[in-house]
A and B are shown apart, each in its own frame.
Chain A
């Protein structure tokens, strides 16, 4: 089928692009993917990006060091706006993670074969994102050196326990569980590929290292059997997390009395938003990756299109939530809710709100067009817009609600400081750094699962 030699070219109507480029056999697939890791030659752009990322991480360290020296006062937070960037970033990052779990777990259970070539780095994305997210709840506290262990139910000489009624405690459990499961899931998935790298590695050192990581994987039938079971079990474990984690996070707000927080539809709204931004992030990572490393054969238009569709779906749910928020505000006829709506539309931060409406509601509508869904650069641009929009969404929820709550005399403003920005950008740098290290030293695409997709691995039943 000639038209697929150029993977970026649109297929004729009615024909869906394949999940894997034509003309690959076990050997080529393996070499192409393992090649990235095993090749002696590291591309220049890799060094460039990693160097940049390292510098940004340095900035992050400075920001955090200064924070620990001076206190949270270096940020823009105040009374009434007690939560600012830190919580916004936390919710944003944790949301980003969700797509990874969704792809690897839920799509696996639904036997979506196309997931295979993107699940590996999607999972990596999840883990790295959760790492960023996990940073914030800790450093945003006034006395992190205490929060670090008082938030966990450890027996202490004080004879008191954390308070389990507080959503922040639920967060601690939700996030730590999420991280653990995702990490195991990811790790187990990697074992066969590590073995693969071990076997095809030239240098002794490399072989040793991957050998250790492979944990003695021999690929025997029993191994495979156990592997499949474990993987499936973890998938089962991870699936509810996709829904639960961000639901719990949303409760941080929903449980409170603050107008604009105190709403029952937050959990689904947050989960949808999370997956929305998650897929945006997958695309932001996948599109450069496939072109930088010529992986168009393995991450094909099919994947991009599907991500696009998922974004459209979840984006619509988010849009619905925005409408609902306004509607309920009006429908309740509660003066505080009404004031909240009015503040969204006409308050000092209304510009942020309109901006977020454009990013999260209007711009994703372009995904109705196949052209957009199948044009990488458009998708990339759109994903960036959405990502920004989702950050704004959290800003609007956190800051705009707190800024004007009940007593007019107590209303105030919030302005972020350079330290807020440095911390946010810093985590982006850390994320990038981790991700590129991952690409270089681990198979970013699951080799053996790709193999399973190859035509020749299809078993014919007669």
Chain B
């Protein structure tokens, strides 16, 4: 229940949650971001290396009902694994849904420096978080076993 013990305590929307809490029976969730069983995806490492929630899940904060923003197909994964620097962001920005990649008039601070384009920032992050080489993260066994 957590928060909903305090707020919206009898919102119809949350009836199933309360029911589950009472009966101890799990709610059956439909898995929206679902990968095939032969894909071994580790969430923590992506967060640890500065991949924003947004990059994979899209504008979750604006979704009245959760939907899959991206295909989650292999080529989509590879698109990032083949050029991580294009998507990395500072760790503290990972959960920030309104984060903007640096642009000409919009800078992003990192390690005491202001960055005005993603390539520079990306490379800086890439180095400082020492993300593995592209060859490393595109080796088959990175995701498949």
In the complex the two chains form, what is the Cα distance from A159 to B78 in whole Å? 8
Q: Which residues of A contact B133 (CB under 8 A)?
A: none
In the complex the two chains form, what is the Cα distance from A160 to B73 in whole Å? 12
**Cβ-Cβ contact count across A and B, 8 Å cutoff:** 12
A223 CB to closest chain B CB (Å) equals 50
Query: Which residue from chain B places its CB closest to the CB of A157 in the assembled complex?
Result: B73
B141 CB to closest chain A CB (Å) equals 14
In the complex the two chains form, what is the Cα distance from A159 to B72 in whole Å? 12
Q: Mark B50-76, 1 if CB is under 8 A from A, else 0.
A: 000000000000000000000101110
A348 CB to closest chain B CB (Å) equals 38
In the complex the two chains form, what is the Cα distance from A160 to B144 in whole Å? 14
Asked if residues A157 and B71 are in contact (CB atoms below 8 Å), the reply is yes
In the complex the two chains form, what is the Cα distance from A158 to B75 in whole Å? 5
Q: Mark B74-108, 1 if CB is under 8 A from A, else 0.
A: 11001100000000000000000000000000000
In the complex the two chains form, what is the Cα distance from A160 to B139 in whole Å? 12
Q: Which residues of A contact B75 (CB under 8 A)?
A: 157-159
Q: Which residues of A contact B73 (CB under 8 A)?
A: 157-158
Q: Mark A134-160, 1 if CB is under 8 A from B, else 0.
A: 000000000000000000000001111
Q: Which residues of B contact A158 (CB under 8 A)?
A: 73-75
A149 CB to closest chain B CB (Å) equals 15
Query: Which residue from chain B places its CB closest to the CB of A159 in the assembled complex?
Result: B75
Q: Which residues of A contact B79 (CB under 8 A)?
A: 159
In the complex the two chains form, what is the Cα distance from A113 to B71 in whole Å? 62
Of A157, A159, A160, most buried by chain B (CB within 10 Å of CB) is A159
In the complex the two chains form, what is the Cα distance from A157 to B36 in whole Å? 14
In the complex the two chains form, what is the Cα distance from A212 to B136 in whole Å? 59
Q: Mark B12-35, 1 if CB is under 8 A from A, else 0.
A: 000000000000000000000000
Query: Which residue from chain B places its CB closest to the CB of A155 in the assembled complex?
Result: B75
A142 CB to closest chain B CB (Å) equals 15
Q: Which residues of A contact B71 (CB under 8 A)?
A: 157
Within 289-348 of A, Cβ neighbours of B (below 8 Å) are at: none
Q: Which residues of B contact A160 (CB under 8 A)?
A: 74
A421 CB to closest chain B CB (Å) equals 36
Q: Mark A156-188, 1 if CB is under 8 A from B, else 0.
A: 011110000000000000000000000000000
In the complex the two chains form, what is the Cα distance from A159 to B71 in whole Å? 13
In the complex the two chains form, what is the Cα distance from A157 to B79 in whole Å? 11
In the complex the two chains form, what is the Cα distance from A160 to B78 in whole Å? 10
In the complex the two chains form, what is the Cα distance from A12 to B7 in whole Å? 113
Q: Which residues of B contact A159 (CB under 8 A)?
A: 74-75, 78-79
B143 CB to closest chain A CB (Å) equals 11
In the complex the two chains form, what is the Cα distance from A17 to B78 in whole Å? 69
In the complex the two chains form, what is the Cα distance from A35 to B75 in whole Å? 60
In the complex the two chains form, what is the Cα distance from A329 to B21 in whole Å? 77
In the complex the two chains form, what is the Cα distance from A157 to B74 in whole Å? 6
In the complex the two chains form, what is the Cα distance from A46 to B114 in whole Å? 87
Q: Which residues of A contact B78 (CB under 8 A)?
A: 159
A156 CB to closest chain B CB (Å) equals 8
In the complex the two chains form, what is the Cα distance from A159 to B74 in whole Å? 7
A166 CB to closest chain B CB (Å) equals 16
A183 CB to closest chain B CB (Å) equals 35
B35 CB to closest chain A CB (Å) equals 13
In the complex the two chains form, what is the Cα distance from A158 to B78 in whole Å? 9
A113 CB to closest chain B CB (Å) equals 57
A31 CB to closest chain B CB (Å) equals 63
Query: Which residue from chain A places its CB closest to the CB of B79 in the assembled complex?
Result: A159
Query: Which residue from chain A places its CB closest to the CB of B81 in the assembled complex?
Result: A159
A118 CB to closest chain B CB (Å) equals 52
Query: Which residue from chain B places its CB closest to the CB of A158 in the assembled complex?
Result: B74
Q: Which residues of A contact B74 (CB under 8 A)?
A: 157-160
Of B75, B78, B79, most buried by chain A (CB within 10 Å of CB) is B75
B100 CB to closest chain A CB (Å) equals 28
B interface with A by C-beta (< 8 Å): 71, 73-75, 78-79
What are 12 A-B contacts with C-beta separation under 8 Å?
A: A157-B71, A157-B73, A157-B74, A157-B75, A158-B73, A158-B74, A158-B75, A159-B74, A159-B75, A159-B78, A159-B79, A160-B74
A interface with B by C-beta (< 8 Å): 157-160
- In addition to A157-B71, A157-B75, 10 A-B residue pairs with Cβ atoms within 8 Å of each other are A157-B73, A157-B74, A158-B73, A158-B74, A158-B75, A159-B74, A159-B75, A159-B78, A159-B79, A160-B74
